[in-house]
A = this chain, B = another copy of it.
Amino acid sequence: MRRLHESRLLNMNRLTKLFDKPQIVFRYIKGEFKRSLFMYGSQFINTVNGAMALTQVSSNKCCDGYQKVFEHDSSELKCKMKFGIYLPPKAESSKCPVLYWLSEQNFITKAGAQQAASENGIIIVAPDTSPRGCNIEGEEESWDFGTGAGFYVNATQEPWKTNYRMYAYVTEELPRLINSNFPADPEKMSIFGHSMGGPRSSHFLCQRLHLSVTLFNLYDATVLAESYSGPELDILIDQGRDDQFLSSSQLLPDNLIAACSKKKIPVVFRLQQGYDHSYYFIFSFINDHIKHHAKYLNA
């Protein structure tokens, strides 16, 4: 125990110098952080830093678990960000797989995902679409660019490149934050998404070798499929046949199917007659998607 205490002090000194936040140290020594958070070096610093930065915005019991919203200072995006997280009842006693939703935060009130997440013991994380409150000129001008849609890329040009690093945020900072603050199994992660988030889910899949992916509606994913070279996949895609973006030829699912076929990527593609781009569509099929992920995440 003495040795542990010395290690704590060592880290305390590093923290004090690095962050100039001695209150973290005192809270740590007082045992306010859980034992499981205790790690060494940069891992420790990230953890404590992560733990400190989280502010609970809301918490509502839902389907025996909790739907919560947190705010934190993002180091990648240089702004405050919010994310929704559903913690199933299983998370009270053991680690759970995490399913990341890429689209927008209305998901937590409109998609109806909590029932299936509760039953299958899966944590669902729904981050903001874009950096928030950066006041960059032009970011509010269009519904499908800027604050409305960040497209999960790391921007390379001014004035965007300082804040618009959504790729790094969603693939690195956010999972690190989730894994160090919640009972998340870091070996069991998967992603699903809608609209802008649909193709990005497949992109991350290609990059990060997740086990399963499900998409609602397609959008520019063809190029990603064409360049895929990873392990075997199991992809489920639902596309509304009366989606306004489909009829305006912005989605082009045929191209994606052809690309998957060429690369021998197995895809279940369901063109759902009469359905549009809305949450009513997502709500209608959300259970199928969560079950699809559960098959692998709970294997």
A residues sitting closer than 8 Å to B (CB atoms) are: 60-64, 67, 109-110, 112, 114-115, 240, 242, 274-276, 278-281, 283-284, 287
Residues of B close to A110: CB separation below 8 A = 109-110
Bound-state Cα–Cα, A125 to B109, Å:
20
Residues of B close to A61: CB separation below 8 A = 240, 242, 274-276, 280-281, 284
Bound-state Cα–Cα, A283 to B115, Å:
9
Bound-state Cα–Cα, A60 to B61, Å:
29
Bound-state Cα–Cα, A61 to B240, Å:
10
Q: Which residue of B lies closest to A58 (CB)?
A: B278
Q: Which residue of B lies closest to A66 (CB)?
A: B274
Cβ-neighbour of A283 out of B112, B275, B287 (below 8 A):
B112
- Min CB gap A281→B, angstroms: 7
- For this complex, 20 residue pairs linking A to B, each with C-beta atoms less than 8 Å apart, are A60-B276, A60-B278, A60-B280, A61-B240, A61-B276, A61-B280, A61-B281, A61-B284, A62-B280, A62-B281, A62-B283, A62-B284, A63-B283, A67-B280, A109-B109, A112-B112, A112-B115, A112-B283, A114-B283, A115-B284
- Min CB gap A113→B, angstroms: 10
The 10 closest A-B pairs by CB, nearest first: A62-B280, A112-B112, A60-B280, A61-B274, A61-B275, A63-B284, A109-B110, A60-B278, A67-B280, A62-B284
Bound-state Cα–Cα, A112 to B280, Å:
9
Q: Which of A63, A67, A240, A284 has the most CB of B within 10 A?
A: A284
Residues of B close to A67: CB separation below 8 A = 280
Bound-state Cα–Cα, A117 to B42, Å:
52
Q: Which residue of B lies closest to A110 (CB)?
A: B109
Bound-state Cα–Cα, A109 to B108, Å:
11
Bound-state Cα–Cα, A90 to B110, Å:
24
- Min CB gap A106→B, angstroms: 9
Bound-state Cα–Cα, A185 to B69, Å:
43
- Inter-chain contact A60/B109, CB cutoff 8 Å: no
Given contacts A61-B281, A63-B284, A115-B284, 5 further A-B contacts (CB under 8 A): A61-B274, A61-B280, A62-B280, A64-B284, A115-B287
